[in-house]
Structure 1
Amino acid sequence: MFGKMIAKNLVMAGEAAPLFDNPSNYNLQYENVSFQASDGVNLKGWLIKGDDDKVIIQSHFGLYCCRAGYTNDIKRIAKGYPTDVKFLRQAKYLNDAGYSVLMFDMRNHGESDPAMDGFASYGPEEAKDIIASVDFISNHSVYKNANIGLFSICMGQGASVSAYGREDGLKNYSNIKCMISVQPLDYAHFIDKMKLPGFLLKRADRFIKKNTDFDYINNTWRPYVKDVTVPTLIIQNKNDGFLDKDFVDGVYNDLQVEKEMMWIEIPDKKNQGFNRMAAYDWLGTHSEPVLKWFNKYM
């Protein structure tokens, strides 16, 4: 019982990531869209309409998140953050600057299909979703000639990096011009920073291994950082409760492209989870560095 409960909080989203917001709440023109990943998983999202020549694809963090962000509107063991984290705020300032924006739910989140029996992979499997989103825009009747920028948040950045490491992946799309990578983290470092009691971690690990053959420790996006081919800005909160500075520095150092490291310092919150989530909330109210990076390359 405890193993399942802990495991669900580590690697499973399901009902923990409901869709709770809508572009119409921000006076944004949009359409509901759906597209399919290479393994047949159906993905749903919003295509927010701006200029035809530039599109931002925003991907989200894992487990408690969907394309709209994070909400406290459902029952949880504990709050992940004091308030809702609304990702449509980014879409609003991006759209006001002329960008079209594709926001979609990765597999096992929001309205998209389940996959791998509901287990999120922290990037390697979700890479198929990132590729599908880029392919969707690249073949869209209106946006097929548009430049694309990737706004990749936590698991979304792991998925984007993994997608650069695949033979059928993002390195094949010359229309991708740049990426913003928010708070890089893989499963092994997440678990290490959780500091769970050993007996709970063992029970969770037994449940995971019993229910999926995915190797969370060794199957990570980290080796593919060197394969990224576009200018990349990393944004990281210094007070992130899950921060391993050597890990983030290593990601930055391994990028073989034009790059920039942006350390932000958000005042300490109640706990380590709040301190990580604070950076996601920060994105919605700090448009300048985001727009500066995308405007430079797009």
Structure 2
Amino acid sequence: MTEVPTNEAPRLSDDQIMGVLQQIADRFSQPQRSPVLHTPAEQNLDYEDVTFPSLDGVPLEGWFIPAAGSNKLIIANHPMGFSRSGIPTQFEPWHSGWVSSGNGFEVNFIPDYKILHDAGYNVLTYDLRNHGLSGAANGGIVSSGIFEARDVVGSLQYVRNRDETRDMTIGLFSRCLGCNSTFFAMTRFPEVFNEVRCLVAPQPVTTQTILAHRLARAGVPANRIEDLEQRIVLGTGIRFAQTDPKEWAKHVRIPTFLYQVHDDVLTQPSDVQTMFDNIPIAEKQLQWIYGTTARFDGYLEFQRRPQPMLEWFEKYMA
């Protein structure tokens, strides 16, 4: 059963509750696209604008950042509501949607790519469907990994068919929705990952867990989660039980490093802990981030303290 933290949110009328439920359902089902505000040029990185198809043909837009003389490649997948360059949460409408949970600050992913490049990795990063500059698909909805898994597969097919990358050693850096999508791709298309060496996975999350916490912070009674699910089903056709990365984690077969803000007010430690426990191999690690309750600090952890993740990549991609 999903645990919900207590909070001191104001008591809401039924009409106000209905409005909050619809707002959360709308923002979750079809989040505002984040623009691609930054480029690798800001970190003096050479890069190529690339486009390639998802498994089902959706056009995906991305960057290929070469590392001269390297035969190692990291494919980076972004969180829900972000683009490959991050999320401009210092601006509206993103600020209003995140500031109440302490996440009203920008996340810029370009420094991540600089760190990976300087460590000797080529990088492919791209916008998932219905995000950034990639194509619209499936009615514009975000599916918590079900449809987005096809994008993960498409990125692997792309690098295996591109002349200069086809023989490279591959690792994955899959954040949040990117991790959920990777887990589901491993569940549905396990053969695609046969030659992938490892996965670094910040902050995967179960849909019901994060939405239950968002309701609690908005002052909505916990029993209204069923009303919220019904609204999401009407918008997407997808129920919470269909999007459970804890179950998908049972299909992970490559060395996996998970990390998560332990006291993230939008989730709970047991969510990621269960995913970790369910990964059925010995080559796995879970690292907690302490000293913050802001989820976005987890997305910035790599650029602040990258050594544990770089050591994981080095260990399994050497």
Tell me the TM-score normalised to structure 2 length: 0.84
Kindly report which structure 2 residues correspond to 1:266-285, keeping only aligned pairs within 5 A, or say none. 266-268=291-293, 275-285=294-304
Aligned residue for 2:185? 163
From the superposition, tell whether residues 158 and 54 of structure 1 become closer, same or farther in structure 2 (CA, over 3 Å): same
Instruction: Determine if the alignment matches structure 1 residue 29 to structure 2 residue 53.
Output: no
Q: Larger radius of gyration, structure 1 or 2?
A: 2
What is the CA distance between 1:218 and its match in structure 2? 2.7
1:232 to 246, 251, 256: 256
Runs of 5+ consecutive residues of structure 1 not aligned to the other structure: 269-274
- After superposition, residues 127-146 of structure 1 pair within 5 angstroms as 127-146=149-168
Counterpart for residue 30 of structure 2: 12
How many residues align? The count is: 288
Match of 1:71 among 82, 88, 102: 88
Q: 1:85-129 CA deviation, whole Å, 9 max, x = no partner?
A: 111111001100110011110011100112222211111211111
Which runs of structure 2 are paired with 1:159-238 in the superposition (5 Å)? Answer: 159-166=181-188, 169-194=189-214, 195=216, 196=218, 197-198=220-221, 204-238=228-262
Indicate if the aligned counterparts of 1:123 and 1:220 stay in contact, CA closer than 8 A. no
Kindly provide the CA deviation profile for residues 123-145 of structure 1, in whole angstroms up to 9, marking residues without a partner as x. Answer: 12111111111111111100101
Aligned to 2:287: 262
1:46–1:103: 8 Å Cα contact kept in structure 2? Answer: yes
Tell me the alpha carbon deviations over residues 248-294 of structure 1, each in whole angstroms, 9 at most, x when there is no partner: 221111112211111121334xxxxxx11111122222221121110
Shift of 1:184: 2.0
Q: Which residue of 1 aligns with 2:14?
A: none
Alpha carbons of structure 1 residues 18 and 255: separation in structure 2 relative to 1, 3 Å:
same
Find the aligned partners of 1:176 and 1:236 in 2 and give their Cα distance: 23
Higher alpha-carbon deviation: 76-85 or 188-197: 76-85
Q: Which moved more, 1:197-206 or 1:154-163?
A: 197-206
What is the identity, as a one-letter code, of the residue corresponding to 1:295?
Answer: E
SS of residue matched to 2:51: strand
Instruction: Find 2:77's aligned residue among 49, 52, 59.
Output: 59
Cα distance, 1:223 vs structure 2 = 1.6
Distance (whole Å) between structure 2 residues aligned to residue 204 and residue 254 of structure 1: 28
Cα offset, 1:79, TM superposition:
4.4
Counterpart residue number, 1:87: 109
* SS of residue in 1 equivalent to 2:162: coil
Residue 169 (structure 2) pairs with residue 147 (structure 1):
yes
Which has the larger helix fraction? 2
Q: In structure 1, how many angstroms separate the alpha carbons of the residues matched to 2:272 and 2:197?
A: 22
**Structure 1 pair 10–173 and aligned structure 2 pair: CA distance change class (3 A):** closer
Cα displacement (A) at 1:211: 3.0
What amino acid is aligned across from residue 174 of structure 1 in structure 2?
N
Question: Is contact 1:124–1:220 with CA below 8 Å preserved after alignment?
Answer: no
- Computed over aligned residues only, the root mean square deviation of the Cα atoms, in angstroms, reads 2.0
Give TM-score scaled by structure 1 length: 0.89
